[in-house]
Amino acid sequence: MKLIPRPVEYAIKEGVVGWSSSTQVTGDFPKTIEQAKQLLAQKSAGKASRLHFTKDDERIKDPEGYAIKSNKDVIQVLASTETGAFYALMSLEQLGESGEMECCFVRDDAPKYAYRSFQLDCSRHFWTVEKIKSILRLLAAVKMNTFHWHLSDDQGWRAEIKKYPLLTEKGSIRKKTQIGLVGYSRGNEPYEEKEYGRGLFYTQEQMKEVVAYAADLHIQVVPEIDMPGHMVAAIACYPELSCTGEPAEVSSRWGVMDNICCCGKENIYNFAKDVIDELCEIFPAPYFHIGGDEVPKTRWKTCPACQAKIKELGLKDENALQGYFNNEMAKYLRTKGKRMIGWNEVLDASDIMDTDVIAQWWVYRGSKTRELGWLEKGGNLIMSMWGYVYMDHPYNVRPLSKTYKMTAQALGIKDKKGVLGVECPQWCEYIRTEEKLDFLSFARIITVAEVGWTPDHKMDYKDFEGRLEALRSFFESHGWYIPPQKVYRGKARDLATLTYAGRWNMWRKNSYWEVEWTKKHFGEIIKKK
């Protein structure tokens, strides 16, 4: 079977049916019919056939679900929404690569999770609108429905905000860029001594363009403004956002910064609401990501304004102050019909956190009890564990097979009712070229797509690999290159036997090795095309 993600149920039938520019497209769902026509027009003429879409709410209950049934003359699609019809088209595109396809039966296919997402860090390194669009097209091909856009961080602010023009005039630029990890703990890591980021940001028009392009592919775009930590780029423009108010520079170094926003003063609350106001005009998705990760409380502990706020509100401690900030943001977003998402540090104050806040679980904070307890309380989670899905690490550290194992069960979740879905985040500190971005992202996106769609009992890694290889030429025909099997399989290594330093060392070595490898082999394949 040549299909990723693996459908709930699939059978090959006897005979073949045409899939070419000679295929006639008819039925319900005008938008998908138009897309089908465009897709088929790119193929050469072939055996006559018909692709027919029928709206059937009785049979297809899931709004993203669909069914396909074909014989040698007609491909029949059932769906209840344009999205379901579009996903049928995406399945057919994979099945019908060569101008015809085997007759088949896909019985009532539907996703395991409603939220299937990819995150791209556009702060540390900037990616063009064209690049983002080509990744969105891959997300659609594998039925992912969310693009989480990481638009701000310590090292660069990338979203135009009209009320705060400095954010992109100044906050997008850093003086130099850290290019290696060696010596980091001693503070003598290597840098490229070159300004980065002037003019590298998205205008509001460009963000709207991405949203519209994504919407055509049934993908929602969830913007993230990371707060109150990871905000040095904004603080460099508006120092009054910090506890001390002293001048700061956009960071050139990676990591977790002590200089965070002051949640004792009103400045950050007002700033955040203004930014949310402008972005909500651009992003219609019912979610907004406020980041909330890696917020060291060092400065809050000695900040008179933060301490006074803690007292005034009767809060337990600094974590509770972040909890208060999060709740304020969640409340404001609710007035705009949006639910707030935050990295799972938002649960550091889980006792006071509003339960409609969604926690994106990327790291164990002590134990799992807190996150599991959040689910029991009726809260929602998105599964995004770094040890399974992070894409900035080499395949030798994290083979695709490891990513494939990120099931609710593996994380100790008994009742997955509160699990909204899955996301694979791509962090781009050390990703400076599109080649490396492609090399590290495409194969893992495809893997996570199946993790988010296919029922756990139908998941089988060996079978997945077989389909990935069978679809290699399909993906490559779109420019989505997949590393060779021996690379994405990684080396069979037990990471648990390595020391922490040993792991980092391997990460470093393999990163260098992969960059070289990418240039040599991947670069050549791309050039040939």
Residue ranges binding ligand TNX (CB under 6 A): 293-294, 343, 362, 390, 392, 427, 429
Shortest Å, Cβ 382 to ligand TNX: 12
Shortest Å, Cβ 155 to ligand TNX: 10
Shortest Å, Cβ 470 to ligand TNX: 32
Shortest Å, Cβ 427 to ligand TNX: 3
The CA-atom distances, in angstroms, between 111 and each of 120, 198, 378 are 23, 41, 21
Nearer to ligand TNX, 241 or 428 (CB): 428
> Interior CA angle at 269 toward 266 and 270, to 5°?
85
Residues 122 and 223: their CA atoms lie apart, in Å, by 11
Nearer to ligand TNX, 283 or 362 (CB): 362
The CA-atom distances, in angstroms, between 129 and each of 54, 126, 406, 437 are 35, 10, 30, 14
Nearer to ligand TNX, 306 or 424 (CB): 424
Shortest Å, Cβ 162 to ligand TNX: 27
Residues 10 and 220: their CA atoms lie apart, in Å, by 28
Nearer to ligand TNX, 64 or 429 (CB): 429
Nearer to ligand TNX, 392 or 450 (CB): 392
Nearer to ligand TNX, 94 or 177 (CB): 177
Q: Cis peptide before 30, with omega less than 30 degrees from 0?
A: no
Q: Please, is 187 exposed, middle or buried when counting C-beta atoms within 10 Å of its C-beta (0-12, 13-18, 19+)? A: exposed
Amino acid at 290: I
Shortest Å, Cβ 323 to ligand TNX: 17
The CA-atom distances, in angstroms, between 159 and each of 270, 309, 481 are 18, 30, 29
Which helix (H) or strand (E) covers residue 149, if one does?
Answer: strand 146-150
Nearer to ligand TNX, 81 or 123 (CB): 123
The CA-atom distances, in angstroms, between 212 and each of 87, 122, 445 are 18, 19, 21
Shortest Å, Cβ 122 to ligand TNX: 12
- Tokens of residue 68, six digits: 């396909």
